[in-house]
Amino acid sequence: MTAICDAGSVKGVPRYKFVRSIVQQKEMIRNLLTTPVRNLSKVRFLNCEASAYETVLVEKRDKVALIQLNRPKALNSINQQVIEDLNKAVLDANADNGIGAIVLTGSNRAFAAGADIKMMEPLSFSDTYMGGLFNDLENITKAKKPIIAAVNGFALGGGCELAMMCDFIYAGEKAKFGQPEITLGVLPGAGGTQRLTRSVGKSKAMEMCLTGNFIDAQEAKQIGLAAQVFPVDELVDRAVAVGQKIASFSKVAVALNKEAVNAAYETTLQLGLDYEKRLFYASFATKDQKEGMSAFREKRKPQFTDE
């Protein structure tokens, strides 16, 4: 399985390890700014040909990559081929310098109705444990470029988990979210008990996981699972428009913002504040910081170069 390139990792330093000495801090900042360019995979471009993938459709809208799950007969249920195609499409979009943001969607009927039960039913414990069932689905979270989930219809089980792997969720007004694995005699296995709890709190997450009940788009927004709700026919275009706005900013600044927010999941408040400060200081070594502040002072539109 091809992994998403993690261009911002610092060699030898875990993402959320906080260094204290001045020498270590300077070293971390230098590596943070120089490593991404050196560690990126060979230049590649988003492949929008219909024959490029079996289970996803890919479209480039200006600076936004639109990736659509495409297993209509199975309501976009997630199997190994979907995971492979999705990883490849996100990898290509992440490495394409002409792309600044990614929108992931399904059909009006289903974003993804869950994992493929026909694939899972015959598996044993050793099959799932030794084979790392669904481990590769996590690869999309390593993309530096932000991923917006545009959810219409059902986002259940693995589909809800996939949406939560994205950086934020926009929901169509008829969307349904749920973790109904309890009805199959199992539990969520791709982040449902963990990301859902962090998004909506223990009480609501426990209710959803123990009852298998669905929630609608408006409730998803009220409890913090979805950021916005839009009419079904407008959802994808609205998500792409937000992606275009994000793509107009410095890719370096976008990636640093994304990394800082994600760090909040993994740290105490004080460690998170320390990490945010390091990234904030690091941004002052970029050309885009100079350009952005000069443009503001000169009352003109900034021309970011992603450096």
Q: What is the pLDDT of residues 101-130, one digit of tens each?
A: 999 999 999 999 999 899 999 999 999 999
pLDDT of res. 52: 85
Residue 53 inside a domain? The answer is: no
Q: Which of 194, 215, 246 is the last residue of a domain?
A: 246
Read off the tokens for 267: 């740290």
Look-up of token digits 């370096």: 252
On the question of pLDDT at 67 being above 60, the answer is: yes
On the question of pLDDT at 149 being above 70, the answer is: yes
**144 shares a domain with 202:** yes
Residue 99 inside a domain? The answer is: yes
CB-CB neighbours of 271 under 10 Å:
15
Top-confidence residue, 48 or 20 = 48
pLDDT of res. 43: 54
Look-up of token digits 């993804």: 112
Read off the tokens for 206: 């426990």
- Give the CATH number of the domain where residue 86 resides: 3.90.226.10
**169 shares a domain with 116:** yes
**162 shares a domain with 277:** no
- Alpha carbon distance 110, 69 (integer Å): 9
**216 shares a domain with 163:** yes
Mean pLDDT of 182-204: 96
Residue 197 inside a domain? The answer is: yes
Sheet holding 176-178, edge to edge: 110-112, 154-156, 176-178, 214-216
- Give the CATH number of the domain where residue 269 resides: 1.10.12.10
Number of domains making up the chain: 2
**131 shares a domain with 100:** yes
On the question of pLDDT at 25 being above 60, the answer is: no
At 219, the amino acid letter reads E
Residue 17 inside a domain? The answer is: yes
Categorize the per-residue pLDDT at 10 as very low, low, confident or very high, splitting at 50, 70 and 90.
very low
Range of the domain at 174: 58-246
Residue 2 inside a domain? The answer is: no
On the question of pLDDT at 143 being above 90, the answer is: yes
Read off the tokens for 179: 């973790």
Mean pLDDT of 32-36: 48
Mean pLDDT across the chain, nearest whole number? 88
CB-CB neighbours of 135 under 10 Å:
12
pLDDT of res. 7: 37
pLDDT of res. 103: 98
pLDDT of res. 30: 52
- Which residues are catalytic, by number? 115, 158, 161, 181
248-270 pLDDT, tens digit per residue, is 999 999 999 999 999 998 899 99
% of the chain surpassing 90 pLDDT: 80
**185 shares a domain with 103:** yes
